[in-house]
Amino acid sequence: MVAVTVAALPDQSLICAAVIIGTLVEFSPNDRRPTGAAWTAPANTTVSPQFFTKLMIRKNPRGDLPRVHPGAFVDPTAILCGKVVVEENVFIGPYAVIRADEVDTRGQLEPIVIGANSNIQDGVVIHAKSGSPVTIGQRTSIAHRAIVHGPCVIGDGVFIGFNSVLFNCTVEDGCVVRYNAVVDGVHLPAGFYVRSTERIGPETDLSSLPQVPAAASEFSEDVARTNNELVLGYKAIHNEF
């Protein structure tokens, strides 16, 4: 048996999240268990993919819903909220959060766009300040636990390493930002290489940055290729989740 806790969705339907094996179960609106109540479900309880979609792909307060290409794969634990566009063959990994919900002074916001064949890996957070845009190009990899905060434009064939932080910046095609780096308030031209733990800002002399070495470029392409294959693999077994 699986112990779970009841919680409420914004539309007031009730759900419960298993604390042992991660199974999610939906109650009908007529179920009057109070939020926070304990409940026990059989260990073989299953849930349809449509329920995961209802839970994890959400409207923002303005009413915008994410648009996900049918050829993309979004892990059931990832959260997409608001004006998010996910293009073809994109992989979005476990516990990623992509949230487009803040508006500008006119109540408007630009979308967060994930370009075709890109991958957003485990635990990545993508958000935008005051309705500003975030655009991620094609064949780009955002690695585990990185943060991309708009306004931000990332080009094609870019690699952003583990735990790196990007804010208010443009990173052009083919750049590589290694792990634990910070890119803040700067425009990186195409093909630049940011070493691990470096902080790049408005005062940084960009002429001191090296070009991407061949090995790093090959690594970026390999990561993109591997995650493209994962899209096909996970979509083939999604009914088994």
Catalytic annotation present for 198: no
Return the closest-CA partner of residue 57 out of 25, 35, 84, 23.
Answer: 84
From 102, 172, 198, 229, the catalytic residue = 102
Q: Average pLDDT of 184-208?
A: 95
Q: What range defines the domain where residue 6 resides? A: 1-47
Q: Identify the domain boundary among 26, 47, 68.
A: 47
Q: Are 26 and 41 in contact (CB under 8 A)?
A: no
Q: Which pLDDT tens digit goes with each residue over 45-72?
A: 444 444 445 558 899 999 999 999 999 9
**Same structural domain, 94 and 169:** yes
Q: Are 73 and 90 in contact (CB under 8 A)?
A: yes
Q: Domain for residue 31, yes or no? A: yes
**Same structural domain, 192 and 223:** yes
Contacts of 48 (CB under 8 A, 6+ apart): none
**Same structural domain, 223 and 160:** yes
**Same structural domain, 87 and 191:** yes
What percentage of the chain reaches a pLDDT higher than 70? Answer: 76
Instruction: Estimate the share of the chain in helix, then strand, then coil, as percent rounded to the nearest 5.
Output: 15, 35, 50
What is the per-residue pLDDT for 124?
98
Q: Domain for residue 70, yes or no? A: yes
What is the per-residue pLDDT for 15?
36
pLDDT at residue 11 greater than cutoff 80: no
Q: Are 110 and 89 in contact (CB under 8 A)?
A: no
C-alpha 20: how far from chain center: 25
What is the per-residue pLDDT for 241?
64
Q: Which pLDDT tens digit goes with each residue over 115-169?
A: 999 999 999 999 999 999 999 999 999 999 999 999 999 999 999 999 999 999 9
Q: Domain tally for the chain? A: 2
Radius of gyration of the chain measured on its C-alpha atoms = 20
**Same structural domain, 101 and 214:** yes
Residue 52 three-state SS: helix
| Tokens 């926070």 sit on residue | 36
Mean pLDDT across the chain, nearest whole number? 82
Q: Which pLDDT tens digit goes with each residue over 96-120?
A: 999 999 999 999 999 999 999 999 9
Q: Domain for residue 240, yes or no? A: no
